[in-house]
Structure 1
Amino acid sequence: MSYVVLARKYRPRNFTEMVGQGHVVQALSNALTTQRLHHAYLFTGTRGVGKTTVSRILAKSLNCLGADGQGGITAEPCGVCQACTDIDSGRFVDYTELDAASNRGVDEVQALLEQAVYKPVQGRFKVFMIDEVHMLTNTAFNAMLKTLEEPPEYLKFVLATTDPQKVPVTVLSRCLQFNLRPMAPETVLEHLQQVLQAENVPAEVQALRLLSRAARGSMRDALSLTDQAIAFGGGQLQEATVRQMLGAVDRSYVLRLIDALARADGATVVDTVDALRVNGLNAASTLEEMTGVLQRMAVLQAVPDRAQAEGLDDPDEAQIARLAQSLPADETQLLYSLCLHGRGELGLAPDEYAALTMVLLRLMAFKPANTAAVSAAAEKKTLKTAEAPVAEVVAPAAALAPTPVPMVRLPVVNPPPAVAPPAPVRAPQPSAMAVSAPAAAPQMPAEPVDDAPWPEDDGPPWEEAEPAPPRVMAIPVRDAGEPGPADQPQARDEHGTQTVLPAAPGGSVEGDFWFETVMQLVRAEAITALVRELGLQSQLIARDTDQWMLRVERSSLNQGNTRERLATALKTIGHEVRLSVEIGSVSDSPARRVAAEAARRQREAEAHILNDPFVQTMMRDFGGKIVPGTLKAITTA
């Protein structure tokens, strides 16, 4: 007898042998048991998941006579009666399979429907199975609609397709639709073990794991690849031979690449890619294997207990766990995204290995700088912070007191500005504030620093509209020529170190100085993109004559030469200093001040509209409403 391929030899003969489609098996078994049978079924799913197999098992269940010839409709066909054996061998008269890919015209469908008027010759039901039904023409679909909706009681339709989106809605509405899902690699692996055990073929688990992943959810593809691997390996399945057959990349290369990227070792990355080129290993397969390892690393970083329990059978789990600890979670996600999108770039490059090198080196280009080294260097410097005691200042306090700055609430729709008491916080002109507002990404509330009462003749604008929200800091408007924080009196201690006097209660001289400096750079467009974000999102912790210490909350802001570019921009306005950046909590940054001012102006704008007599009349007399989010504060000259 000639050899029968594994995909046909081990095709399921009944519902109990079906693998990975429990939801479909349960529904059909219950329907057959209770005999609540529909006249048309539609099975959808990718190739090799069991659509034709389910159709044949359903036909056997409807026509099974039992081993004794006295059986009826059953969910467990016997497999030995005349109907079951004929359906398995493809010669049952009352079971017709039509391939719509090659018989897609109206004539073929009409020829099939002409047989519907005749009762079954041998079985209990006639079953018409149309495979790849989405390939039929519109005329062919229209020709079968009436029969599909009201077929004779002895006729059942079974439709199968890999693309249900192309099936007309008029056909979908006449069928019970079942979606056969792609099978998980673990399910495919377990079934392959059973098949090879029955075939007495020795196989390594890692080889079967490679085959199950290469099948991509299709059991037929898995069995076909297994047939090929048995022939390639001379009757046995070993990991090395299966990798060679599939062109899969050895995971040792992938682990070496990820380890090199975690250590920012560009030389090892380039050498490993050269080794892949020499061995003829596929670049796309390398990125695919890397995404799988990085996914395991991300799970280990998020839920380590569960991930370790699931990976006990993976021999590389210990090394993957070590890499998960050495690579930060944000870099793991970044590298996963780069590998995922990098597969689409391989075909665009003239050399796929050069494209693979660029994809891997891209992470190193965006890799955050070593914050530990920055912190260590900063500890060697003695920086005078804003909390320096006033006793260190040599000049008299009265002579060095900062000049009060008049505080005003910015107008929104031309209301008269109400003068507020002096406060230590300064901001740029409203127009510059409005330009910089979109850059304020962190939406964190600013600490209230303006505790002065409102004038008696001008209460809070939201007094009548809604309960008063928390007050935020008032933003001063400084006239041109008025001294800013950088112009405040300064003194030097006995060592010659420049010390800035502390601000008035509730303020911060360092915060005012850094805000004014950053906004000056933004207005002059001296900093852009990531450099501007570093300035806006950072807080000036301390400054010396030649070195300033900044603090940011995210290490991604301190990437590459961003810090050096910011220092170069500061040099253009007279501050020739070195910058050190540490990671920590930020309480006062230019971005937060801009966001707080924008929020205050928005509340004042909303309150001004709600208190407008015309608006109140429209709301009271005509039931008008203000749609939330439609009001926007504007800056008036």
Structure 2
Amino acid sequence: MSYLVLARKYRPKNFSEMVGQSHVVQALGNALATQRLHHAYLFTGTRGVGKTTISRILAKSLNCLGPDGQGGITATPCGVCQACTDIDSGRFVDYTELDAASNRGVDEIAQLLEQAVYKPVVGRFKVFMIDEVHMLTNTAFNAMLKTLEEPPEYLKFVLATTDPQKVPATVLSRCLQFNLRPMAPETVLEHLTQVLGIENVPAEQQALRLLARAARGSMRDALSLTDQAIAFGSGSLDEASVRTMLGSVDRSYVYRLLDALARGDGKTVVETSEALRLNGLSAASTLEEMTTVLQRMAVLQAVPEMGAGDDGADPDIAETARLAQALPADETQLLYSLCLHGRGELGLAPDEYAGLTMVLLRLLAFKPQASAAAKLGSAAEPGKKPHSEATRANVPVPPARPVAAPAIAPEPAQREPEPSARPAAPEPAARQNFEQKQPAAQAERAQPAINSVASSVPLPERQAPPQRPQPGASAAAVAPLVPVPLGEGWSQTVNQLVAAEAVAALTRELGLQSELRSQAEGLWTLRVERESLNQVAAREKLQAALQAHLGDAALRLAVEVGPVTDTPARRNAAAQAERQRAAEEMIQNDPFVQDMIRDWGAKIVPGSIRPLASKSI
């Protein structure tokens, strides 16, 4: 007697036996119960999720005669009538399955469609099932479009594909599409437990978990792997034999690696990598298992009450929870990302184990050391404050000012004034505090004080980059501003358009470089100095922007060429120059800066003072 593999033996015979596709079963069941039947169905999804199975069950539902031969269309086919048994055995004359992977041409489709003109021989409906329909050629798709759109009332099309993106939109629009989802490992585990219980095959729960994860959402793959595992284990399934068959990495290696990474133990990391090499375990599987554990750790860290999920009976959850507490959440995210990227680099390495070792060492090298460095710095000199803290205790810090800090460079040490040569005038508080110290202490604290100030401002040789000028400001930076009556309002209007990005490129320059000469009866006359700005397209775009901004559809613009004295660009440049002058004056008159110049011989680096950027032009 020939053996029937589990994937075929336990293929569902009706909708109630379907696993993991309740959304499709519910839709089809309701349609059959109310007899709201479409003429074409498209089932999509990865391999082994039930596309062909649902097609056969649908064909039985449409043609079932019932045990007494008097039945009709039903969502629960009897499975015992002539139509049901013939469809299950593959000899029902009115049910045709076509494999489009090997019959993809227009001739094969034409032969199939020739049968559409004949009514069913024994059944209620003819059902054409085309598997892997995306493999058909374009001419084959075109040949079936008309029949697919308006088939005879006794004909139903069922299409199945693993790649719906390759199916033309003209075909998709003629079908009801159902997406069959990959099955969760918990769903596969539950079904495998039921099947092996019926088969009386002893199996360890952890071995079934490995098979469920290895199936990648495909029930057929899960049953095929189970067949292989039964043969490998001589009629029983245990975790060790299943791991050996799958080449899976024992979770103990993964936990050992993550624990070593949490402790920063590089020796254990390298030794574990060598153990994986000696045992011939897959490097890619190691990183895959690590990402799985890290994902569960991240869930436990973010939502502790949801970490176990439906898999709370898993014995690994306790170790995962321990590691989730030992490893900070940010490091967990970093390790997860590096493991994902590391899997793609294994093929580029001299061998996969060398690649695995480098990925693990990268995980160790990128381990954040900020907390350890902070602890080391605080424990290096107990009771002694850092230089910056000691300096702030004696040097008053001025409040924040609305200008960027200048670069203050100290003069050479020999230029520091001697105590006897200093003026007898009352000294600032910071100066008096320094005078109370001994000369040696004063010399010791002088350099940290200067460093604390210099560390918060740009160095002389690395000056801050110049501030980006406002549009049109550079062109009028040296041109004098002579106000005209309409200049203020025109400047405000143009700057509002620029800030709202209503104008750009040449249109923006036309507005910024123009002077409003007159406003009479809806006609605004502008004057520009350069003929290149007097372009029809730019004028029309500026006119449209002004109409939308002012709500005046009758507004018209005219542009002439001539000398100008008051443009938005010149006003912007004048305002920028005034802000620069005010910023320099504020810094130069600041008491703290004056104290630094007088007491420590500091100087302001020319060009280092920049006003803060204005919020509007």
- Aligned pair partner of 1:616 in 467, 478, 492: 492
Query: Which letter does structure 2 place at the counterpart of 1:382?
Result: K
Q: What does residue 234 of structure 1 align with?
A: 234
Q: What does residue 475 of structure 1 align with?
A: 404
Q: What does residue 172 of structure 1 align with?
A: 172
Query: Which letter does structure 1 place at the counterpart of 2:98?
Result: L
Partner Cα distance (1:119, 1:336) in 2: 59
Query: Which letter does structure 2 place at the counterpart of 1:126?
Result: K
For residue 132 of structure 1, report the CA deviation from its aligned partner: 0.3
Alpha-carbon spacing, 1:496–1:321, altered in 2? closer, same or farther (3 Å): farther
Q: What does residue 303 of structure 2 align with?
A: 303
For residue 69 of structure 1, report the CA deviation from its aligned partner: 1.0
Alpha-carbon spacing, 1:614–1:189, altered in 2? closer, same or farther (3 Å): same
Q: Identify which range, 368-377 or 230-239, moves more after superposition.
A: 368-377
| 3-state secondary structure, aligned to 1:474 | coil
Alpha-carbon spacing, 1:612–1:171, altered in 2? closer, same or farther (3 Å): farther
Partner Cα distance (1:494, 1:481) in 2: 22
Partner Cα distance (1:497, 1:225) in 2: 78
Q: What does residue 102 of structure 2 align with?
A: 102
For residue 616 of structure 1, report the CA deviation from its aligned partner: 3.0
Q: What does residue 146 of structure 1 align with?
A: 146
Q: Are 1:493 and 2:437 an aligned pair?
A: yes
Query: Which letter does structure 1 place at the counterpart of 2:218?
Result: S
For residue 382 of structure 1, report the CA deviation from its aligned partner: 1.2
Alpha-carbon spacing, 1:110–1:615, altered in 2? closer, same or farther (3 Å): farther
Q: Are 1:377 and 2:379 an aligned pair?
A: yes
Alpha-carbon spacing, 1:493–1:319, altered in 2? closer, same or farther (3 Å): farther
Partners of 2:64 and 2:71 within 8 A in 1:
yes
Residues 408-463 of structure 1: per-residue CA shift (max 9 Å, x gap): xxxxxxxxxxxxxxxx76xxxxxxxxxxxxxxxxxxxxxx734xxxxxxxxxxxxx
Tell me the C-alpha RMSD between the 2 structures.
Answer: 3.7
Partner Cα distance (2:461, 2:316) in 1: 51
Q: How many residues align?
A: 479
Q: What does residue 441 of structure 1 align with?
A: none
Partner Cα distance (2:337, 2:301) in 1: 16
Partner Cα distance (1:612, 1:477) in 2: 33
Query: Which letter does structure 1 place at the counterpart of 2:404?
Result: I
For residue 330 of structure 1, report the CA deviation from its aligned partner: 1.2
Alpha-carbon spacing, 1:111–1:387, altered in 2? closer, same or farther (3 Å): closer
Query: Which letter does structure 1 place at the counterpart of 2:453?
Result: D
Partner Cα distance (2:461, 2:28) in 1: 71
For residue 613 of structure 1, report the CA deviation from its aligned partner: 4.0
| 3-state secondary structure, aligned to 1:234 | coil
For residue 283 of structure 1, report the CA deviation from its aligned partner: 0.6
Q: What does residue 19 of structure 1 align with?
A: 19
Query: Which letter does structure 2 place at the counterpart of 1:377?
Result: A
Partner Cα distance (2:391, 2:226) in 1: 78
For residue 513 of structure 1, report the CA deviation from its aligned partner: 3.1
Structure with more helix by fraction? 2
Query: Which letter does structure 2 place at the counterpart of 1:474?
Result: V
Query: Which letter does structure 2 place at the counterpart of 1:449?
Result: A
Query: Which letter does structure 2 place at the counterpart of 1:626?
Result: A
Query: Which letter does structure 1 place at the counterpart of 2:137?
Result: T
Residues 110-140 of structure 1: per-residue CA shift (max 9 Å, x gap): 0000000000011100000000000001110
Q: What does residue 580 of structure 1 align with?
A: none
- Alignment of structure 1 residues 351-362 onto 2, 5 Å: 351-362=351-362
Partner Cα distance (2:198, 2:405) in 1: 84
For residue 322 of structure 1, report the CA deviation from its aligned partner: 1.4
Partner Cα distance (2:109, 2:322) in 1: 61
- Aligned pair partner of 1:513 in 451, 454, 462: 454
State the identity as a percent: 70
Structure 1: gaps spanning 5 or more residues:
394-400, 403-423, 426-447, 451-472, 502-507, 524-593
For residue 628 of structure 1, report the CA deviation from its aligned partner: 8.9
Partners of 1:386 and 1:509 within 8 A in 2:
no
Partners of 2:44 and 2:163 within 8 A in 1:
yes
Partner Cα distance (2:46, 2:274) in 1: 37
For residue 618 of structure 1, report the CA deviation from its aligned partner: 4.8
| 3-state secondary structure, aligned to 1:102 | coil
For residue 323 of structure 1, report the CA deviation from its aligned partner: 1.2
Residues 140-163 of structure 1: per-residue CA shift (max 9 Å, x gap): 000000000000000000000000
Query: Which letter does structure 2 place at the counterpart of 1:62?
Result: L
For residue 519 of structure 1, report the CA deviation from its aligned partner: 3.9
Partners of 2:229 and 2:245 within 8 A in 1:
yes
Partner Cα distance (1:77, 1:54) in 2: 12
Alpha-carbon spacing, 1:279–1:57, altered in 2? closer, same or farther (3 Å): same
Structure number with greater Rg is 2
For residue 510 of structure 1, report the CA deviation from its aligned partner: 7.4
| 3-state secondary structure, aligned to 1:97 | strand
Residues 546-566 of structure 1: per-residue CA shift (max 9 Å, x gap): xxxxxxxxxxxxxxxxxxxxx
TM-score of the aligned structures, taking structure 2 as reference length: 0.71
For residue 61 of structure 1, report the CA deviation from its aligned partner: 0.5
Q: What does residue 449 of structure 1 align with?
A: 400
TM-score of the aligned structures, taking structure 1 as reference length: 0.69
Partner Cα distance (1:17, 1:316) in 2: 31
Partner Cα distance (2:36, 2:78) in 1: 21
Residues 234-287 of structure 1: per-residue CA shift (max 9 Å, x gap): 000000000000000111111111111111111111111111111111111111
Query: Which letter does structure 2 place at the counterpart of 1:175?
Result: C
Partners of 1:491 and 1:500 within 8 A in 2:
no
Q: What does residue 277 of structure 1 align with?
A: 277
Partners of 2:298 and 2:324 within 8 A in 1:
yes
Query: Which letter does structure 1 place at the counterpart of 2:40?
Result: A
Partner Cα distance (1:307, 1:272) in 2: 27
| 3-state secondary structure, aligned to 2:347 | coil
Partners of 1:126 and 1:155 within 8 A in 2:
yes
For residue 512 of structure 1, report the CA deviation from its aligned partner: 3.2
| 3-state secondary structure, aligned to 1:356 | helix
| 3-state secondary structure, aligned to 1:158 | strand
Partner Cα distance (2:503, 2:186) in 1: 50
Q: What does residue 425 of structure 2 align with?
A: none
Alpha-carbon spacing, 1:168–1:493, altered in 2? closer, same or farther (3 Å): same
Alpha-carbon spacing, 1:240–1:388, altered in 2? closer, same or farther (3 Å): closer
Partners of 2:186 and 2:311 within 8 A in 1:
no
For residue 321 of structure 1, report the CA deviation from its aligned partner: 1.3
Alpha-carbon spacing, 1:12–1:612, altered in 2? closer, same or farther (3 Å): farther
Partner Cα distance (2:288, 2:12) in 1: 32
Residues 77-119 of structure 1: per-residue CA shift (max 9 Å, x gap): 1111110110000000100000000000101000000000000
| 3-state secondary structure, aligned to 1:128 | strand
Q: What does residue 85 of structure 1 align with?
A: 85
Q: Identify which range, 218-227 or 316-325, moves more after superposition.
A: 316-325
For residue 614 of structure 1, report the CA deviation from its aligned partner: 3.1
Alpha-carbon spacing, 1:31–1:389, altered in 2? closer, same or farther (3 Å): closer
Q: What does residue 73 of structure 1 align with?
A: 73
Q: What does residue 261 of structure 1 align with?
A: 261
Query: Which letter does structure 2 place at the counterpart of 1:199?
Result: E
- Alignment of structure 1 residues 342-421 onto 2, 5 Å: 342-369=342-369, 370-371=372-373, 373-380=375-382, 382-383=384-385
Partners of 1:48 and 1:221 within 8 A in 2:
yes
Q: What does residue 38 of structure 1 align with?
A: 38
Alpha-carbon spacing, 1:275–1:521, altered in 2? closer, same or farther (3 Å): farther
Q: Identify which range, 162-171 or 323-332, moves more after superposition.
A: 323-332
Partner Cα distance (2:53, 2:78) in 1: 16
| 3-state secondary structure, aligned to 1:382 | coil
Partners of 1:116 and 1:152 within 8 A in 2:
yes
Partner Cα distance (1:32, 1:483) in 2: 94
Partners of 2:409 and 2:459 within 8 A in 1:
no
